[in-house]
């Protein structure tokens, strides 16, 4: 059974940094897309960043220039380094792994809270 566990969330001051980590277990396929999504109260879940097992990276406009995604395909881990955080970054952040070929099954972590406030 595939399981994803996030860690590294917490509370920081505006302008601060956090590094989120996700460890996936039970993944038997090699071609993957791993990434991070977030959901703020009252809002839809949105994509933050993704990285494929081939190294292709995508950032949402709100993350580009501030966040860095990285992955270890052998260990099945994906990290998100977040810099210059602002209150609008406050959300529950979710790790996601999916197969990069059909059928593209999705797997989700339980989420980790990130709070940016004074």
For 63-100, how does the pLDDT look when each residue is reduced to its tens digit (9 = 90+)?
999 999 999 988 999 999 999 999 999 999 999 999 98
54 to each of 33, 35, 50, 57, how far by Cα in Å? Answer: 9, 13, 11, 9
C-alpha–C-alpha distance, residues 41 and 47, integer Å: 15
Percent of the chain at pLDDT above 90?
89
């Amino acid at each position: 059974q595939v399981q994803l566990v996030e860690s590294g969330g917490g509370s920081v001051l505006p302008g601060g940094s956090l590094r989120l980590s996700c460890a996936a277990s039970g993944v038997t396929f090699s071609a993957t897309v791993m990434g991070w999504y977030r959901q703020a109260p009252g809002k839809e879940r949105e994509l933050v960043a993704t990285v494929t097992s081939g190294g292709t990276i995508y950032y949402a406009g709100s993350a580009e220039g501030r966040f860095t995604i990285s992955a270890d395909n052998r260990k099945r881990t994906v990290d998100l380094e977040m810099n210059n955080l602002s209150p609008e970054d406050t959300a529950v952040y979710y790790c996601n792994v999916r197969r990069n070929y059909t059928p593209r099954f999705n797997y989700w972590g339980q989420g980790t809270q990130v709070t940016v406030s004074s």
